[in-house]
A and B are shown apart, each in its own frame.
Chain A
């Protein structure tokens, strides 16, 4: 079974630029999460999708972050404009509906200069 795929793996941008990350969850997993992991900290939930609907985006900085999961499969997370404090690893995870286990992708490392 293929795992959660994410791209790109690394991205370096300058502040005020925009950036987008892509996630392809495990086939059949209805629930998809985006997390932000700042160096030395645990993952922090940004947004949770159930199929193509948003379940929780209470911690998403909506003035600059957006996410979508149009067909209930792949998802994109966008930052526009980026700030220095957005430097982090952005993790995507998926879970089968009703299941307990989250499966994480390898993450995208973002550095904002």
Chain B
């Protein structure tokens, strides 16, 4: 059973566009929601994270929007650049510190 559902599977945007990646979860015991960026041949790296008591968090060009009642959260990348081309994973942490990952979104930013 997929604990965290992520969409879309792939995304292509023009440079300067705002790609949006969405995730949904069911388990209300999740207490921490990170987003990871992964380049080919590398391990995932933490990009930005949010707790469920906050509706939005912004770090540089990356913003997480969190809707606790809908059990959904999304990643927005402002002014996207070709260097942002990577695979993005959302995740959710269970209170026992186990992390569950989404299936990933392959983002391509066209110059």
Contact residues of A with B, CB < 8 Å? 4, 31, 33, 40-45, 48, 55-56, 91, 93, 95, 100-107
Contact = CB atoms under 8 A, between A and B. Distances in A.
Nearest to A97: B97
Interface in B82-111: 89, 91, 93, 96-104
B60 interface: no
Contacts of A95: 97
Contacts of A43: 44, 89, 101
A18 to B, nearest CB: 24
27 contacts: A4-B43, A31-B97, A40-B104, A41-B103, A42-B4, A42-B6, A42-B89, A42-B91, A42-B102, A42-B104, A44-B101, A45-B98, A55-B98, A56-B96, A56-B98, A91-B43, A100-B34, A100-B93, A101-B49, A102-B34, A102-B46, A102-B99, A103-B46, A104-B44, A105-B43, A106-B41, A106-B43
